[in-house]
């Protein structure tokens, strides 16, 4: 893997990037048996480098593992500490952090004996705007995918598991092939679900709606952040089923996720959203979001954990 930082935390040790390797018979490669997180750290003016909502991400990692009855041989506290350690070791001020628990070299065969422990790695490296700086400012062109999100009784989308991302890859691959910056999937009932790796918000007449947990989404931590910031600003935020045409009829649509941060959607299926650029509420919530990291938004919620 292309070297993005000097060290990786792997099963309790900090080792050189090049040494953090696995066997070709790693269970997770064959069967998708991993659960992971995407976390970001930002350099703040007052507290220096801080991890954003670290405890919630680690909690979700354990929630995902619980769904699949995986045993992670570390505590949440140890993983939080390891996250701070690897940031410090790599001398990172801002970073994308990727903790991953996976079934490793445990022998061939689908069946995993109960109690089998996962391996656990935490990588941290620099990573810019996932959908591009241009998209943060002017918006991304999105297309609705012909692929649906996973049905609720097939694979649980509320767990952030490696295997789920075969679905996300189909959705974003098709979108890019059609010339879009990102794909949006409908759920099996035909309602809007989410982007390949982002949650969605739709705004009309000053009322904000986002898709509910029942629409086969990963209930994102950024989604919760955006809901909290908008409510703080006095906007009504609803969780409700969103039909496809609401994307076309919205004044504003935005996508959000740890990697994508808060990104406006300027068109869906080639139809301009609102005025075809970044809308005013999107701009407000973007500046409130980035304000958490540049000192303009007070962190009332204790979302920032200083690295030092
Ligand atoms: N949906 C999917 C499918 C994702 O992969 C992500 C990114 N983790 C999100 C939503 C957004 O979640 P979060 O804000 O917690 O990063």
How remote is the CA of residue 159 from the centroid of ligand 1, in Å? 10
Closest residue to atom 9 of ligand 1, CA basis: 198
Phi, psi of 114 (to 5 degrees): -55, 140
Q: Where in the chain is the domain with CATH 3.20.10.10?
A: 133-294
User: Ligand 1 centre from 75 Cα, in Å?
Assistant: 23
Candidates 3, 47, 160, 213; catalytic one: 160
Beta pairing partners, 241: none
67 alpha carbon – ligand 1 mean position (Å): 17
CATH class of residue range 7-125: alpha beta
160 is a catalytic site residue: yes
CB 131 within 8 A of CB 140: yes
* 198 Cα to the center of ligand 1, angstroms: 5
Mutate-to-test residue for ligand 1 from 220, 229, 256, 262, highest number of ligand atoms within 8 A of CB: 220
> pLDDT of 172-197, one tens digit each?
999 999 999 999 999 999 999 999 99
Say how many CA atoms lie within 13 Å of 252 toward its Cβ. 24
pLDDT tens digits, the chain, 308 residues: what are they?
A: 899 999 999 999 999 999 999 999 999 999 999 999 999 999 999 999 999 999 999 999 999 999 999 999 999 999 999 999 999 999 999 999 999 999 999 988 899 998 999 999 999 999 988 888 899 999 999 999 999 999 999 999 999 999 999 999 999 999 999 999 999 999 999 999 999 999 999 999 999 999 999 999 999 999 999 999 999 999 999 999 999 999 999 999 999 999 999 999 999 999 999 999 999 999 999 999 999 999 999 999 999 999 98
pTM value is 0.97
Beta-carbon contacts of 185 under 8 Å, excluding residues fewer than 6 positions away, are 144, 145, 147, 148, 149, 167, 171, 193, 194, 195, 196, 216
pLDDT in tens, 39-78: 999 999 999 999 999 999 999 999 999 999 999 999 999 9
Which one is the CATH code of 133-294: 3.40.50.1820, 3.40.50.300, 3.20.10.10, 3.40.30.10? Answer: 3.20.10.10
Q: Considering the chain, tell me which residue range(s) the CATH 3.30.470.10 domain(s) occupy.
A: 7-125
Distance set, CA 210 to CA 44, 155, 173, 216, 228 (Å): 29, 22, 24, 12, 12
Atom of ligand 1 nearest to the CA of 224: 14
Separation CA 56–CA 72 (nearest Å):
16
- Residues in contact with ligand 1 (CB, 6 Å cut-off): 38, 168, 194, 197-199, 218, 220-223, 257-258
């Amino acid at each position: 893997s292309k070297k993005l930082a000097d060290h990786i935390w792997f099963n309790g040790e900090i080792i050189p990037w090049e040494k953090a390797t696995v066997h070709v018979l790693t269970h997770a490669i064959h069967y998708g048996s991993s659960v992971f997180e995407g976390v970001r750290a930002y350099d703040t003016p007052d507290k220096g480098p801080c991890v954003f909502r670290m405890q919630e991400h680690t909690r979700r990692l354990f929630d995902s593992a619980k769904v699949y009855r995986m045993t992670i041989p570390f505590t949440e506290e140890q993983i939080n500490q390891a996250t701070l350690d690897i940031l410090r070791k790599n001398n990172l001020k801002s970073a994308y952090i990727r903790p991953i628990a996976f079934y490793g070299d445990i022998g061939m065969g689908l069946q995993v004996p109960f109690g089998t422990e996962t391996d656990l790695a935490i990588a941290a490296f620099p990573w810019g705007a996932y959908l591009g700086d241009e998209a943060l400012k002017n918006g991304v062109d999105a297309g609705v995918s012909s692929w649906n999100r996973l049905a609720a009784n097939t694979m649980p989308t509320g767990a952030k598991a490696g295997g789920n991302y075969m679905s996300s890859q189909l959705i974003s691959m098709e979108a890019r092939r059609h010339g879009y910056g990102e794909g949006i999937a409908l759920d099996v009932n035909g309602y809007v679900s989410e982007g390949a790796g982002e949650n969605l918000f739709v705004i009309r007449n000053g009322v904000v709606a986002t898709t509910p947990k029942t629409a086969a989404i990963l209930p994102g931590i950024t989604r919760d952040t955006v809901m909290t910031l908008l409510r703080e600003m006095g906007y009504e935020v609803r969780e409700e089923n969103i039909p496809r045409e609401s994307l076309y009829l919205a004044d504003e649509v935005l996508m959000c996720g740890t990697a994508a941060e808060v990104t406006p959607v300027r068109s869906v299926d080639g139809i301009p959203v609102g005025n075809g650029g970044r809308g005013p509420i999107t701009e407000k919530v973007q500046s409130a979001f980035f304000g958490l990291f540049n000192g303009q938004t007070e962190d009332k919620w204790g979302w920032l954990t200083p690295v030092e």
